[in-house]
């Protein structure tokens, strides 16, 4: 099933089809494979087959091709034998000579030349015709019926449960190719039987027809038939004399007297018959068989490209693999909700210290006004462009209940937490109330999402001194 | 000496916590697996996102944690005064060296390290919130690194303080650009990359290459999407379901079962299409909310789906009539106009009437094989003239929603746009081309390759209108 010149065989076609139904690879893998085989860049089929070789191990279980080709081999061996025997028996039948009437060469020519030419013409039509016509033509070939009959034999069971779709054109060409092979075997059987009969018996050949054909015309036809070997083996072309003396009629009980007189010459037809078989039934068939094989291989190459999934792989072979993602996975951040409630709705009536994290002093006074908070003795801006040491100084000087304004949209950084922890550690500070403020543009109104961020962070501080005020006044 | 394999441009996306750094990286890297949270400190370690083509890195983006103790760092740096400008980067290196194992500065070390290894700075701020002086500390530290830098104004909320921010940022950064990772489309990504290319002359060529690669990559995604939509539509419209029946005639239940199985198969095709589109556009973590009956299972055959994605009755009749007239015109031409153009007229009328086949009567169910004994119910192919447009409309809607969806979005995908009209994206001349193929499929024939190419071009044109 795999000729020397072809790159795709039935096996590789079926294996690739099976592999593609199970595995098609990722773009990254396929592109990397194509880059490693850059020499085959312009030979997609070769590249595909190499990809198949590399990925054979991915096919689960038995290869479909093995079962199918085993079946085909068993069937073909049996059919080959049958056709050889048939050819031999047909030869024996055609050449059986009872000593009374000569063997009519026209019968033999019909089997050795006319039928092969007719069958090859039908095969050629079938190759180039549509699926429906090809199906009809196949009914004319005995092989179709023999195969059908043989399908009831036990070895057909080998195909049970096998799932694959051989493209119709391939099935058709496979049938035609095998048809040529078996016809060739048949013809070899025919030729062997002719040679054995010629050696083992004394056959008198003649020709007889109902049609009004003169010996000259018949000789002319014979010359046309023998045109291919006339110059190489002239003795294999019967002479006009031989044609004339071997013409007989079945009317009457006795043969023509001149025929009886020239009985020793009548056997000379065998060379012509042998050459006709060799050239038409064997030579032409052999050429046609090889052509069909070549055509089948070409079809396999075309069909392999239309297998489901091949377009994806070829596209991936040829398309640069672009990756924009991180190679390592991100470790997911676990957010553990603390149980302590830190949010209060109501704030203190009076604060001893008012601090504004990342606010200027003016902004704090403005916020006090907007929130109806009476001015405390100590109002300080912390964070922002203050140095850390300056903030430490402010924290040290803070006392009593501290109101700490923060920008609600700015999540608490560790810098803030450091300052807060120092406030907590300050024994003069009895309580810290954090009041997140929205933007002035939104009249300090907060978004719940921001409050939640602050709440989670303050919960993690785990202090009895710190609270978040969540109210929109 | 610089290692050759590391000579590609690198950019560290840095800034205050929760200003959308990870969103920007997620959008630019087309990676929806990046953890984005409203909890500060979601990003704990730097993470590189290389743009690789066949394994070769063109550039690399780093997502980094936000500044946590910027004041303390600046204070440390300033203690080294007086430091001349050319030595400031060394002071940062010294800081990294001294505090590498100090947990207090873990985040800062993570964000400064790639910068000191040569990465350009992309500083992100939320320009929907007012500017604050506290940012100047971070900007000052970044200035000390001496690396090329730009600032991105991200508009997370609905207020706009870009002017204030631009005035301040302009003093620290060479370029200031607005980029909203949630709303950004492919065009905006490219514009941002074009800005990044200006940061350093040595990087310009690499970034320009990257832009070309990304454009090609984007077009490939479009072509693949359109190809899949075409294939699925053709497969769905030509699908025929065969249901074997036991008795002489089919029971009502058997009719119903066959019809349901036929529908189920078409739904399966649509689901497969949706999955393929998700893969193509690299949305790996999208949680799709099926807002009945827009894109859910039942939706495909619902009246509502017809009204949202199908053609209006008027358009349907016009399309059917014009397609019929085209076939009729073929007869007129073949007969050299001897028909007095009655062919076109007749074709138009037949086509128009055919298009009126109601939505309840979507497909044929035939009982075959009563005489030979192998009885089966044949369901399909789809005969409704509107159904192909519903299929296409749904596919285009789904695909365009995903194509336009930024990878920075973490909300579930809600498919509830009831204002989608196929007529908006497929005009009458395009519909004629589509109808040519639909009518061939309705006749259970195979459309010619050139017609399918034309069909795909129409889908491509409509898809491009949506993205």
Q: What's residue A264's pLDDT?
A: 67
In this structure, the answer to whether residues A268 and A365 fall within a common structural domain is no
Q: Do B33 and A325 touch (CB under 8 A)?
A: yes
Q: What's residue A185's pLDDT?
A: 96
Q: How many domains does chain A have?
A: 2
In this predicted model, what pLDDT tens digit does every residue of B190-206 receive, in sequence order?
999 999 999 999 999 99
**What is the average per-residue pLDDT within B64-88?**
86
Q: Do A328 and B75 touch (CB under 8 A)?
A: no
The range of the structural domain enclosing residue A196 comes to 10-213+264-318
Residue A147's pLDDT band (cuts 50, 70, 90) = confident
Give the nearest chain B residue to A383 (CA atoms): B134
Across A345-359, B43-57, B122-136, B361-375, least confident range? B361-375
- The average confidence (pLDDT) of chain A is 85
Question: Which of B28, B68, B133 has its CB closest to that of A413?
Answer: B68
Does A3 map to a domain? no
Q: What's residue B109's pLDDT?
A: 94
In this predicted model, what pLDDT tens digit does every residue of A64-98 receive, in sequence order?
888 888 888 888 898 899 999 999 999 999 888 77
Among the residues of A306-447, which ranges form H helices?
310-318, 361-370, 388-397, 414-425
Which chain B residues contact residue A452 at CB under 8 A? 38
Residue B3's pLDDT band (cuts 50, 70, 90) = very low
- The average confidence (pLDDT) of chain B is 82
Q: Do B40 and A331 touch (CB under 8 A)?
A: no
Q: Do B159 and A439 touch (CB under 8 A)?
A: yes
Distance of residue A350 Cα from the nearest chain B Cα, in angstroms: 28
> A338 at the B interface (CB within 8 A)?
no
For domain B4-199, which architecture applies? 3-Layer(aba) Sandwich (3.40)
Q: What's residue A416's pLDDT?
A: 92
Q: What's residue A263's pLDDT?
A: 65
Give the nearest chain B residue to A441 (CA atoms): B159
> A414 at the B interface (CB within 8 A)?
yes
In this predicted model, what pLDDT tens digit does every residue of B208-220 receive, in sequence order?
999 999 999 999 9
Q: What's residue A377's pLDDT?
A: 74
Q: What is the DSSP letter of A159?
A: G
**What is the average per-residue pLDDT within A109-131?**
90
Contact in structure between A315 and A31 (CB atoms under 8 Å):
no
Query: Residue A437 burial by CB count (10 A; 0-12/13-18/19+): exposed, middle or buried?
Result: buried
Q: What's residue A20's pLDDT?
A: 92
Q: What's residue A276's pLDDT?
A: 94
Residue B397 scores a pLDDT above 60: yes
Residue A3's pLDDT band (cuts 50, 70, 90) = very low
pTM for the structure as a whole: 0.75
In this predicted model, what pLDDT tens digit does every residue of B289-326 receive, in sequence order?
665 445 555 567 777 777 777 777 777 777 665 555 55
Q: Do B134 and A385 touch (CB under 8 A)?
A: yes
Q: Which of residues 290-319 of A touch B (CB under 8 A)?
A: 319
In chain B, CATH 3.40.50.300 covers: 4-199
In this predicted model, what pLDDT tens digit does every residue of A9-64 receive, in sequence order?
889 999 999 999 889 998 889 999 999 999 998 899 999 999 999 999 998 888 88
Residue B356 scores a pLDDT above 60: no
Kindly write down the DSSP assignment for every residue of B146-169, as one continuous string. T--EEEEEE--SS---HHHHHHHH
Q: Do B53 and A322 touch (CB under 8 A)?
A: yes
Which residues make Cβ contacts (< 8 Å) with residue A167, sequence separation at least 6? A299, A303, A306
Tokens of B97: 């060296």
Which chain B residues contact residue A451 at CB under 8 A? none
**Of A318, A334, A351, which closes a domain?**
A318
Give how far Cα B85 sits from Cα of A452, B82, B90, B120, B135, Å: 42, 10, 10, 18, 21
HEC secondary structure over B198-238: CCCHHHHHHHHHHHHHHHHHHHHHHHHHHHHHHHHHHHHHH
Q: Which of helix, strand or coil describes residue B339? A: coil
Q: What's residue B335's pLDDT?
A: 47
φ/ψ of B176, rounded to 5, equals: -130, 120
Q: Do B38 and A457 touch (CB under 8 A)?
A: no
Residue B345 scores a pLDDT above 50: no
Distance of residue B13 Cα from the nearest chain A Cα, in angstroms: 14
Question: Which of A335, A410, A414 has its CB closest to that of B39?
Answer: A335
Instruction: Name the one residue in this structure whose structure tokens are 């014979």.
Output: A222
In this structure, the answer to whether residues A280 and A201 fall within a common structural domain is yes
Q: Do A415 and B49 touch (CB under 8 A)?
A: no
In this structure, the answer to whether residues A362 and A313 fall within a common structural domain is no
Distance of residue A416 Cα from the nearest chain B Cα, in angstroms: 8
> A336 at the B interface (CB within 8 A)?
no
Q: Positive or negative, the Cα torsion across B327, B331, B333, B334? A: positive
Select from A330, A361, A446 the residue whose CB has the most chain B CBs within 10 Å, as the one to mutate to test that interface. A330
Q: Do B54 and A321 touch (CB under 8 A)?
A: yes
Kind and range of the H or E run holding B121: strand B120-126
A vs B, Cβ pairs < 8 A, gives: 130
In this structure, the answer to whether residues A189 and A46 fall within a common structural domain is yes
> B369 at the A interface (CB within 8 A)?
no
């Amino acid at each position: 099933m795999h000729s020397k010149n072809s790159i795709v065989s039935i096996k590789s076609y079926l294996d690739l089809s099976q592999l593609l139904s199970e595995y098609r690879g990722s773009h990254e893998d396929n592109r990397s494979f194509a880059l490693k085989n850059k020499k085959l860049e312009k030979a997609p089929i070769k590249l595909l087959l190499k990809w198949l070789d590399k990925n054979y191990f991915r096919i689960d279980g038995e290869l479909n091709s093995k079962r199918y080709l085993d079946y085909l081999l068993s069937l073909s061996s049996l059919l080959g034998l049958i056709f050889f025997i048939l050819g031999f028996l047909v030869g024996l039948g055609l050449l059986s000579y009872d000593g009374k009437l000569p063997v009519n060469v026209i019968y033999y020519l019909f089997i050795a030349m006319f039928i092969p030419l007719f069958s090859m013409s039908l095969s050629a039509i079938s190759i180039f015709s549509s699926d429906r016509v090809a199906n009809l033509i196949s009914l004319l070939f005995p092989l179709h019926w023999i195969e059908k009959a043989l399908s009831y034999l036990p070895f057909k069971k080998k195909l049970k449960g096998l799932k694959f779709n051989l493209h119709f054109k391939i099935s058709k060409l496979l049938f035609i190719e095998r048809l040529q092979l078996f016809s060739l075997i048949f013809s070899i059987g025919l030729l062997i039987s002719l040679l054995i009969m010629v050696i083992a018996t004394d056959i008198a050949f003649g020709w007889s027809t109902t049609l009004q054909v003169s010996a000259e015309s018949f000789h002319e036809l014979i010359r046309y038939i023998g045109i291919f070997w006339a110059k190489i083996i002239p003795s294999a072309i019967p002479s006009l004399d031989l044609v004339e003396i071997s013409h007989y009629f079945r009317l009457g009980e006795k043969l023509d007297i001149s025929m009886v007189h020239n009985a020793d010459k009548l056997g000379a037809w065998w060379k012509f018959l042998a050459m006709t078989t060799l050239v038409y039934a064997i030579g032409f068939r052999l050429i046609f068989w090889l052509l069909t094989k070549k055509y089948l291989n070409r079809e396999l190459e075309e069909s392999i490209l239309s297998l489901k999934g091949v377009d994806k792989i070829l596209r991936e072979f040829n398309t640069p693999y672009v990756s924009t993602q991180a190679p390592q996975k991100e470790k997911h951040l676990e957010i553990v909700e603390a149980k302590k409630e830190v949010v209060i709705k109501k704030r203190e009536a009076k604060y001893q210290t008012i601090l504004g994290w990342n606010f200027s002093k003016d902004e704090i006074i403005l916020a006090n006004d907007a929130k109806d908070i009476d001015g405390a003795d100590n109002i300080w801006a912390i964070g922002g462009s203050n140095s850390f040491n300056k903030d430490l100084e402010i924290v040290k000087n803070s006392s009593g209940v501290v109101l700490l304004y923060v920008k609600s949209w700015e999540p608490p950084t560790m810098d803030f937490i450091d300052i807060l922890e120092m406030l907590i550690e300050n024994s003069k500070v009895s309580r810290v109330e954090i009041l997140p403020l929205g933007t002035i543009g939104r009249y300090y109104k907060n978004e719940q999402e921001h409050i939640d961020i602050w709440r989670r962070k303050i919960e993690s501080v785990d202090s009895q001194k710190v609270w978040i005020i969540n109210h929109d006044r | 000496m610089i290692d050759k394999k590391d000579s590609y441009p690198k950019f560290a996306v840095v800034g205050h916590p929760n200003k959308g750094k990870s969103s920007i990286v997620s959008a630019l890297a087309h990676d929806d697996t990046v953890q984005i949270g409203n909890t500060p400190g979601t990003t704990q370690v730097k993470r590189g996102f290389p743009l690789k083509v066949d394994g070769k890195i063109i550039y690399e983006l780093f997502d980094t944690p936000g500044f946590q103790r910027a004041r303390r760092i600046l204070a440390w740096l300033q203690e080294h005064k007086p430091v001349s400008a050319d030595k400031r980067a060394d002071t940062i290196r010294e800081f990294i060296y001294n505090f590498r194992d100090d947990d207090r500065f873990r985040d800062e070390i993570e964000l400064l390290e790639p910068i000191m290894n040569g990465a350009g700075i992309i500083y992100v701020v939320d320009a929907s919130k007012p500017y604050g002086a506290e940012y100047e500390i971070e900007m000052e530290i970044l200035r000390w690194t001496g690396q090329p830098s730009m600032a991105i104004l991200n508009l997370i909320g609905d207020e706009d303080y870009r002017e204030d921010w631009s005035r301040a940022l302009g003093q620290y950064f060479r370029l200031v650009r607005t980029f909203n990772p949630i709303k950004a489309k492919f065009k905006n990504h490219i514009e941002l990359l074009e800005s990044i290319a200006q940061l350093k002359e040595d990087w310009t060529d690499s970034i320009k290459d990257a832009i070309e690669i990304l454009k090609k990559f984007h077009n490939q995604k479009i072509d693949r999407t359109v190809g899949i939509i075409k294939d699925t539509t053709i497969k769905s419209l030509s699908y025929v379901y065969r249901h074997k029946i036991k008795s002489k005639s089919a029971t009502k239940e058997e009719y119903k079962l066959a019809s349901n199985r036929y529908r189920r198969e078409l739904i399966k095709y649509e689901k497969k299409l949706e999955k393929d589109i998700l893969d193509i556009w690299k949305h790996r973590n999208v949680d799709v909310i099926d807002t009945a009956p827009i894109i859910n299972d039942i939706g495909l055959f619902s009246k509502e789906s017809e009204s949202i994605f199908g053609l209006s009755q008027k358009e349907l009749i016009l399309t059917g009539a014009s397609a019929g007239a085209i076939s009729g015109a073929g007869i007129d031409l073949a007969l050299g106009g001897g028909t007095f153009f009655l062919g076109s007229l007749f074709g138009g009328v037949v086509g128009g009437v055919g298009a009126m086949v109601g939505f309840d009567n979507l497909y044929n169910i035939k009982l075959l094989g009563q005489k030979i004994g192998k009885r089966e119910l044949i369901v399909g192919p789809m005969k409704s003239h509107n159904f192909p447009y519903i299929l296409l409309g749904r596919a285009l809607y789904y695909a365009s929603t995903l194509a336009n969806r930024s990878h920075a979005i973490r909300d579930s995908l809600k498919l509830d746009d009831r204002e989608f009209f196929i007529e908006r994206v497929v005009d009458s001349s395009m519909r004629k081309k589509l109808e040519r193929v639909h009518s061939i499929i309705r006749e259970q024939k195979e459309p010619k390759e050139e017609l399918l190419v034309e069909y795909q071009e129409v889908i491509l044109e409509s898809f491009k209108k949506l993205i």
